[in-house]
Amino acid sequence: MEARAAGVQPMPNLDARIDELMDGLIIMATRRLGNQDDGRDAAQETVARLLERVRVGAVASEQELVPVAWGIARHVIADMLRERARPNSDVSDVACSKPGPLEQIVTRDQRKRVREALDHLSHEDRALLRRCFVEGERIGQIAEELGEPAERLRKRKSRALQRLAKVLGSESGPARHKPDTTPMKKS
Amino acid sequence: MSEHWHESGAAAAYVSGDMPDESLDAFEEHLLGCAECRAEIVAGGAATAELRLAPVRVKRRWPVARLAVVATAAAAVVLVAWRESARLRLARIDAPEFVGTTVRASAEAAVPMIDSAMQAYAAADFAAAGRLLARAANTDSSPAVAFYLGVSLLKAGQADAALAALLRARQPARNPYADEATLFAAKALVRLRQPDSALALIRRTAGQGALSVELRAFADSLARR
């Protein structure tokens, strides 16, 4: 797709940028809306509206794609939440505090790779990730119990996650289609 | 600005829900343009899913004084445990293997919950399996759900609740889970220090038809104690 309005810079990498944006939009929308189906719908609607804006020359350059997409996404998500008859509030107020939806957007292959990588983490790092991600405990609370500085635990958690992220390599985007969630047979 | 998000471990905080609301908007805008943060978030989602099924024991640090109290109490517990060992050997619970075929649900709404529950069961997280199956049982009264719920509860140390579920799993009579449900219900009764009731249950079952090898063997063990 090419920019048609005068004064708009050409965007030779538009397809690749949109593809990259889609990954981030799926993550953001799924987390805020609470499920992968709505998250994908919101991401697709956002991209559709973004492309329309590009078509009419309302996005001046590739650098503007991210902030414009983010602004559109907030409105799309807010609209979807209003349709659910939730209280009408600023999008930031309804930011989902539960990490559960993020589990829905990973592929089976990504889970397998991360499972293997988890085995290589130390027991303490695995336990820390589990307490934070699964049990929802706050770093401050864990730090107090273990008698360690909260900042040290925060860094440990971040480094452990970075190690897991490395194993995903080039396959690190969220699932674009609903992943296969049938129970895996016992091996 | 990107360095700020990376140095502060923002992606990890986002995954675990630790990120303050006032930072969420700005981070999500950053996310749309940062492959590194997106990869960490996807990895975090995958790790959450995996860690949910594979419980990890946390090594908690105990103060020395508490250790001394625990050591004294432990000596007393050992004596009691020795007496209990015979009873527990009799009611040893080996959870039947779940080989990944679908546990057929009688209620459509319960299917996703049962899938998650059986994944937890297969991973030997019986506490999680028990919680999920208990919720599924609110809308699904099939013997299969009741059976695996009962076994999960029994493995998780809740013999009382397990007994109720396993007795439900015996109905209707001669359903595929009835025999095993009877066996585990009897074991639950032994765990509850009611071996006579366990034997009576098996004998009542014998009156309805031939007993399985396992049930006969267990009844013989109960009779010989």
pTM, two decimal places: 0.54
pLDDT of residue B222: 81
Q: Quote the minimal CA–CA distance from B27 to chain A in Å.
A: 10
* Interface-testing mutation among A132, A155, A167, A180, with chain B (most B C-beta atoms within 10 A): A132
> Across residues A108-136, what is the average pLDDT?
90
* Interface-testing mutation among A47, A158, A168, A176, with chain B (most B C-beta atoms within 10 A): A158
pLDDT of residue B162: 92
Q: What is the pLDDT of residues B157-191, one digit of tens each?
A: 888 899 999 999 988 877 788 888 899 999 999 88
pLDDT of residue A75: 93
Q: How large a percentage of chain A has pLDDT more than 90?
A: 42
A164 vs B44: CB contact, 8 Å cut-off? yes
A105 vs B44: CB contact, 8 Å cut-off? no
pLDDT of residue B83: 58
- pLDDT of residue A155 exceeding 80, the answer is yes
B40 vs A162: CB contact, 8 Å cut-off? yes
- Identity of residue A14: L
Nearest Cβ partner of A98 from B17, B55, B56? B17
Contact residues, chain A, for B120 at CB < 8 Å = none
HEC-encoded secondary structure of chain B: CHHHHHHCCHHHHHHHCCCCHHHHHHHHHHHCCCHHHHHHHHHHHHHHHHHHHCCCCCCCCCCHHHHHHHHHHHHHHHHHHHHHHHHHHHCCCCCCCCCCCCCCCCCHHHHHHHHHHHHHHHCCCHHHHHHHHHHHHCCCCCHHHHHHHHHHHHHCCCHHHHHHHHHHHCCCCCCCCHHHHHHHHHHHHHHCCCHHHHHHHHHHHHCCCCCCHHHHHHHHHHHHC
Nearest Cβ partner of B99 from A126, A173, A185? A185
pLDDT of residue A31: 92
- pLDDT of residue B146 exceeding 70, the answer is yes
pLDDT of residue B58: 47
A173 vs B38: CB contact, 8 Å cut-off? yes
Cβ contacts below 8 Å, chain A against chain B, sum to 183
Q: Quote the minimal CA–CA distance from B20 to chain A in Å.
A: 10
Q: What is the pLDDT of residues B80-119, one digit of tens each?
A: 666 566 666 666 777 876 755 555 555 555 677 888 888 8
The rounded Cα A45 to chain-centroid distance in angstroms is: 16
Contact residues, chain B, for A64 at CB < 8 Å = none
Confidence of residue B1 (pLDDT cuts 50, 70, 90): low
pLDDT of residue A163: 92
pLDDT of residue A89: 41
B32 vs A21: CB contact, 8 Å cut-off? yes
pLDDT of residue A71: 94
Rg (CA), chain A: 20
pLDDT of residue B105: 52
- Tokens 């007993």 locate to B211
Nearest Cβ partner of A115 from B39, B50, B102? B50
pLDDT of residue A2: 45
A161 vs B12: CB contact, 8 Å cut-off? yes
Nearest Cβ partner of B16 from A69, A92, A99? A99
Q: What is the pLDDT of residues A61-98, one digit of tens each?
A: 888 999 999 999 999 999 998 887 554 444 443 334 34
Confidence of residue B14 (pLDDT cuts 50, 70, 90): very high
Q: What is the pLDDT of residues B28-82, one digit of tens each?
A: 999 999 999 999 999 999 999 888 877 545 455 555 555 666 666 776 677 666 6
pLDDT of residue B17: 86
Residue B216 or residue B208, greater confidence? B216
- pLDDT of residue A38 exceeding 60, the answer is yes
Confidence of residue A4 (pLDDT cuts 50, 70, 90): very low
Contact residues, chain B, for A155 at CB < 8 Å = 9
Output the average pLDDT for chain A: 82
B9 vs A155: CB contact, 8 Å cut-off? yes
CA distance B15 to A134: 10
